[in-house]
Chain A
Amino acid sequence: MRSISVVRVLLSVPKRVKRGEAFEVKLLISHPMESGQRRDTMGQAIPRDIINSFVCTYGGEDVLRADLFPAIAANPFLDFFVVADKSAALVMTFTDDHGVVQTESVDVIVE
């Protein structure tokens, strides 16, 4: 069984931001997001295997929670805005259908 812990994540987060000013975060997760709707060449259903939950927090407070369904394209991409009041860690956590959790963290400095 493929493990999510080796999933590659590309992150775009500014290193320094202004207090109270929204900044953009983009991430691209390398994952097939197998929808469970497809069949292989032998006609067997390919089991569903997707990242179903994404949570982003900043300094322990929620930024965005996303429930993802099989209609999310392979290699899920998310682009959203965060507002910071102090320097803290931007933590992104995602969970796949096997219940495996992966966390990515970036320190953001507020000027």
Chain B
Amino acid sequence: MMRRRFLVMAGASGLIMPLPSGPARATPAQVAALIAELTGDATLRQGRVILDLPVMVENGNSVGMTVSVDAPVSQVHSIDVFAEGNPLPHVVRYQFGPRSGAARVATRIRLANSQTVIAVAKLTDGSCWRDSVDLYVTLAACIDALD
């Protein structure tokens, strides 16, 4: 009750600033630029890399994500994951060493809203491969006020 009264007073006296129009989000163009920087001169082709994410996400705060490459791990240089609709689009980069047993890593990520997530794998022969998942997020990851 006190809080509500304070808010009314604060609003009347101009204390409350107008909120910005939602948090900043990356754009597909920004992600495309990041990927172009990563691949360089190599052509980005569909395939080889497999991005495993649920299509319907109930809670964007923690989403299980597995990324793997259909190649011996010795031929895989790195895997990068980008989320087009997150405030900061770069999600993770994995690099594999000689003691790696498989070109496969699972983790849990945050997703700010319904969007496209892209995985890019760079192989040691210089070729680059992509996979993407379009997903719907019911409850977005917390990027505003704490409740």
Binding site for B on A (CB under 8 A): 22-24, 35, 37-41, 43, 46, 57-59, 61-74, 76-84
Q: B87-113 interface mask toward A, CB cutoff 8 Å, 1 = contact, 0 = none? A: 110111111111111101111111100
Looking at B36-44, B123-131, B139-147, the stretch in contact with chain A turns out to be B139-147
Cβ A82 vs Cβ B91 within 8 A: no
Cβ A73 vs Cβ B110 within 8 A: yes
What are 6 of the A-B contact pairs (CB < 8 Å)? A69-B92, A71-B88, A74-B61, A81-B102, A82-B99, A83-B100
| Given A38-B144, A67-B92, A71-B110; A83-B61 close (CB under 8 Å) | no
Q: Which of A64, A65, A72, A82 is within 8 Å of B108, CB to CB?
A: A72
Is B53 on the interface with A (CB-CB < 8 A)?
A: no
| Given A35-B110, A38-B143, A80-B104; A66-B62 close (CB under 8 Å) | no
Binding site for A on B (CB under 8 A): 23, 61-63, 66, 73, 83, 86-88, 90-102, 104-111, 142-146
Q: Which one of A22, A24, A69, A74 has the greatest number of beta carbons of chain B within 10 Å?
A: A69
Beyond the given A37-B88, A71-B88, A79-B105, please list 9 additional residue pairs across the A-B interface where CB-CB is below 8 A: A57-B97, A61-B97, A62-B97, A63-B96, A71-B83, A73-B107, A73-B109, A77-B106, A81-B101
A58 to B101, CA, bound (A): 11
Cβ A67 vs Cβ B99 within 8 A: no
| Given A37-B23, A74-B61, A74-B62; A64-B144 close (CB under 8 Å) | no
Q: Looking at chain A's contact residues, is the secondary structure mostly helix, strand, loop, or mixed?
A: strand
Cβ B101 vs Cβ A82 within 8 A: yes
Inside 8 A of A73's CB, which chain B residues have their CB?
Answer: 61-63, 107-110
Cβ B94 vs Cβ A66 within 8 A: yes
Within the complex, the shortest CB–CB distance from A42 to chain B, in Å, comes to 9
Cβ B104 vs Cβ A71 within 8 A: no
Inside 8 A of B62's CB, which chain A residues have their CB?
Answer: 73-74
A37 to B145, CA, bound (A): 9
Nearest 10 A/B pairs, CB to CB: A62-B97, A22-B101, A81-B101, A79-B106, A81-B102, A83-B101, A73-B108, A58-B99, A67-B93, A73-B62
